[in-house]
Structure 1
Amino acid sequence: MFSWPNIFTLLNLVCGCIALFGIFYESSWVVIITFGLALIFDFLDGFSARLLSQTSELGKQLDSLADLISFGVFPTFLLIDIVERSVEIREWPVYGLIFLLAAGAALRLARFNTGKEGDSGFMGMPSPAMAMTVFAIWVNLDNTVYPSLEMLSDPVFILILSLFLTFMMNISLRFIKFSLGNSYTLDQILSLLLILIFLGGLFVNWRLAVLITSLSYIILSLLFPLFSRSARSS
């Protein structure tokens, strides 16, 4: 039960909870550090499970529960935090629709657990990628190098974004499966490209690098069918 993959999964969940704590107590660096750790632990649980051949039904269910907190509930409250900087949701209840993002993440994770898509790719935007996109917008609102990015805090834009991401997580569209290796599959090639985009962005501004990489992931995933057809024809 307490295998390394499950320990990493539990650490992911704990980091997600602490990140939520950081939002409520307006501690940006707690949010940034713990969300980054949650992503690392989410990667390590799957990597160690494959490396040690310790996959199990318990680990699969536990992983989804942890992801729902770190990559479902947490990004939802990031968007709520952005909206409440300019309007109060209790006075504008329409913005309560943002909470559908957490429901969309739960549905996405449940579909993943009951399907076989993990063997060949992701049907719908993975919840960690969704959370990364939300985090990228939130963290750039305090980007002193590019203060014009404050425009991303518009409440109407945030509401539309939350509905868009909810839809993208549950659309029947193949998204890039982030993976590395030496087999040079299309997923691995595009994953390497995303890493290079992120590293290149670091030379400009780390906050902007996160935003550009997240947007690049969405764009490349939407273009994935074109890349697949080109690879098959060649």
Structure 2
Amino acid sequence: MSKRTSVSATNGAVSSKTGIADEPSYNKQKDLLASTTGHFSLLKALHMADYITELNGFCGIMSVFSSLRYCLGDPSDKGNLWLALIFLPFGLFFDFMDGRVARWRKKSSMMGQELDSLADLISFGLAPACVAFCIGLRTPLDHVLLCFFVLCGLTRLARFNVTAANIPKDSSGKASYFEGTPIPTTLGIDALMAWWIREGWVHDSVPGGVWFVGTAFEVHPVVALFVVHGCLMCSKSLHVPKP
């Protein structure tokens, strides 16, 4: 979840419209991004916190690739499946650190906010859905419901980027609460899937079994965990205090 808006600056005020510090580094980044010359102007525009956010995205992408490698190999060899799950807590670490670094360096940007949300979508939305597919949630209805979960994460992150400036903040510029559950809380489901893998409850042994076998509504009932979590992420009235 993005924690990189409304960083207070020692030499500038925070804009009430965007929630971004009106500081020289922010203006410099805008100029670099708008530049029509320079092959590496984009790299020059990125702050240190942005590169840490990229590492979050890297962890999510590697998790997805590990899931794909598992599907291509021997189902009894769960090495790549474990790798797919192991990358995700590291994504959370980098998601936490980018906000800390941005506040420490007093450098924030709209691009950093967008990068943070896109990386979160991969690491805590798409990657867990891929792991769920790997362990056996593979019916057409499973796919639709997992897609619903990822789209809820997408919508929740887009809403955060639009409304972040309107959420009450403390003196440091940190938002007081999340609207809906933050998408990194998907790690709770990841931990549950890790337990199932350790116990061998995958594929034909997924907890809850399969309902409506042989019909168009064939589904694994455990996919409801993803559906409920998706709904909680999109909740407007649920306010989760920030730690």
TM-score, scaled relative to structure 2: 0.64
Taking structure 1 as reference, are residues 78 and 29 closer, same or farther at Cα in structure 2, changes over 3 Å only? closer
- Structure 2 match to 1:100: 148
Secondary structure, in 3 states, of the residue corresponding to 2:198?
Answer: coil
Choose the corresponding residue for 1:125, options 148, 156, 181: 181
Structure 1 residues 48, 23: CA separation in 2 closer, same or farther (over 3 Å shift)? Answer: same
Between the aligned partners of 1:82 and 1:43, the Cα distance in structure 2 is 28
- Secondary structure of 1:119's aligned partner: coil
Q: CA deviation at 1:96?
A: 2.1
State yes or no: 1:135 paired with 2:194. no
Give CA-to-partner distance per residue, 1:176-222, whole Å, 9 cap, x none. Answer: 42x3xxxxxxxxxxxxxxxxxxxxxxxxxxxxxxxxxxxxxxxxxxx
Superposition misfits of 4+ residues, deviation over 6 angstroms: 147-150
- Which digits, 9 at most, give the CA deviation of each residue in 1:16-71, with x for residues without a partner? 00011111122034223321211111111111111111111110011111111111
**Is contact 1:12-1:42 (8 Å) kept?**
yes
What RMSD, in angstroms, separates the aligned Cα atoms of the two structures?
Answer: 2.1
Deviations 1:84-116 (A, max 9, x none): 4xxx42xxx222222111100000101110113
Structure 2 unaligned spans of 5+: 1-44, 71-79, 168-173, 211-219
Q: Match of 1:20?
A: 64
* Structure 1 runs not aligned, ≥5 long: 180-234
Q: Which amino acid aligns with 1:124?
A: G
Give the aligned residue type for 1:8: I
Structure with higher helix content? 1
Whichever residue aligns with residue 134 of structure 1, its letter is: I
Which is greater in Rg? 2
Look up the equivalent residue of 1:120 and give its one-letter code: S
2:48 aligns with: 4
Kept in 1, the 8 Å contact 2:121–2:153? The answer is yes
Higher relative contact order (CA 8 A, sep 6+): 2
Task: Tell me: CA distance 1:33–1:148, structure 2 relative to 1, closer, same or farther (3 Å).
Answer: closer
TM-score, length basis structure 1:
0.66
Percent of residue pairs bearing the same amino acid type: 29
Equivalent residues, number:
169
Query: Matched residues in 2 for 1:8 and 1:79: separation?
Result: 27
Q: Is the 8 A contact 2:81 2:131 kept in 1?
A: no
Q: What code does the residue aligned with 2:155 have? A: L
